[in-house]
Structure 1
Amino acid sequence: MSLRITGGIAKGIILKVPQKTPVRPALSKIRSAIFSSLGDWIEGKKVIDLYAGSGALGIEALSRGALCCTFVDKSRECCECIKNNLKKTHLEGKVILADVYKFLKSDTEQYDLVFASPPYFKEPKLLDDPLFSFVYPRLNPEGTFIYEFFSKNIVKLADQWLLSWEKSVGETKVWMLKPKCLSP
């Protein structure tokens, strides 16, 4: 599978994809749609790429001007792949080998942009993903959460989130979510 950076200073560079660990890298159509929607807002932002796989989303963000990116994946092969892709693109990021939930539970950082593309089975079902409640305290009030899932799933979205954008390509659906600012 060829995975090419679609914009920014690393545009055109082909990323490697882990061979042994099953991953589902964000297709260039999806990444282009996400980053077209984000526009220049991405510049100078603090990003985290959860279930990072090849690191394509975080590396795309860095290529387009994000200040920094933390990549989290529980696969050693994926983490090595991300490090190699960062070297190949001449970009820098922090790569963490960890379970996403355990990491978010202990992490104290705040992020402007959170990417999450959790593993999924291609079968229609109702999802009540606890990830939404783990991400919420890690996201800046003006931040954005990009969540990718199987398009035939029905995702239960907690009240603290506003759906600001969605895109479907093939079997994949992407939501752009904003945290609701609750008044005291």
Structure 2
Amino acid sequence: MRFSKNTPSITISAGKLKGLKLLLPPTLTTRPTKAIMRESFFNTLGGEIVDCVFIEGFGGSGSMGIEALSRGASEGIFIERDSHSAQILSHNLESAKNRDKSLRYRIYTQDFFASADVLCALTNHAILYLDPPFSIREGMADMYQRCFEFVRNLENPRIWLIAFEAMSAEDMPQTLGKYAKIKQKKFGKSTISYYRI
């Protein structure tokens, strides 16, 4: 697939892929995580990202997962149901792989809510990052509730941390199944909530 020079992009900020440009899908289908939020998230995790599997549940451009790979994650798992966004995601991962041949990743072009079997099969420590479409978008009114229910039913204890990017106005639960909210950080209209076993 060919992309125009005018396709918007963002840049990996640290690690072995620092400076790598990632193309962004159209804003009608995805909403990239702001640079300040990405930086805060990875500063919060610090060395805990190293050798973890990083799962980006709503893959988009792959900016969070590729940043995680750049900073030492052992593998990236990307789930993105929109076919155009998945093509851009594949392009970004190929660019990253050209920079570092040792990168390990998988892409699943499917709905996140159909990925329970993928997550249950994980055998290494893993982090799940969820950045679903804002619930104010058309047809997305129940999106957060569906995510909450999915997390409550997660069976794999290898997923030790779940980070949830949501609208700041959303009342995030204190617990989601066996996961308890340990921290929350607000960035204007968006907030990241951290849940840990």
**TM-score normalised to structure 1 length:** 0.85
Q: Is the 8 A contact 2:22 2:61 kept in 1?
A: yes
1:47-90, Cα deviation, whole Å (9 max, x unpaired)? 21101111011111100000001100111111111111112222
Q: Is the 8 A contact 1:151 1:171 kept in 2?
A: yes
Number of the residue aligned with 2:65: 58
Q: Is the 8 A contact 1:73 1:79 kept in 2?
A: yes
CA RMSD of aligned residues (A): 2.3
Number of the residue aligned with 2:50: 43
Q: Which amino acid aligns with 1:178?
A: R
| Cα shift at 1:145 | 0.4
Number of the residue aligned with 1:155: 172
Pick one of 169, 184, 189 that aligns with 1:166.
184
**CA 1:76–1:127: 2 relative to 1, 3 Å:** closer
What does 1:114-125 correspond to in 2, within 5 Å? 114-122=128-136
Greater percentage in strand = 1
1:106-159, Cα deviation, whole Å (9 max, x unpaired)? 653235100110111448x99862323433324526x11011101112233435
Distance 2:136 2:84 in 1: 23
Distance 2:196 2:82 in 1: 29
| Cα shift at 1:92 | 3.8
Structure 2 residues without counterparts, runs of 5 or longer: 1-7, 98-102
**CA 1:138–1:100: 2 relative to 1, 3 Å:** farther
Give the SS at the match of 2:120: coil
Q: Is the 8 A contact 1:3 1:27 kept in 2?
A: no
Number of the residue aligned with 2:4: none
Q: Is the 8 A contact 2:58 2:132 kept in 1?
A: yes
Q: Is the 8 A contact 1:126 1:153 kept in 2?
A: no
Q: Which amino acid aligns with 1:45?
A: C
Number of the residue aligned with 2:113: 101
**CA 1:75–1:115: 2 relative to 1, 3 Å:** same
Number of the residue aligned with 2:193: 175
Structure 1 residues without counterparts, runs of 5 or longer: 180-184
* Number of residues of Structure 1 aligned to a counterpart in Structure 2: 177
State yes or no: 1:130 paired with 2:130: no
Give the SS at the match of 2:18: coil
Moved over 4 A (4+): 125-128
Distance 1:101 1:10 in 2: 30
**CA 1:20–1:33: 2 relative to 1, 3 Å:** closer
Q: Is the 8 A contact 2:135 2:143 kept in 1?
A: no
Q: Which amino acid aligns with 1:85?
A: N
The more displaced of 160-169 and 38-47 is 160-169
**TM-score normalised to structure 2 length:** 0.80
| Cα shift at 1:23 | 0.8
Number of the residue aligned with 2:26: 19
Pick one of 3, 11, 15 that aligns with 1:4.
11
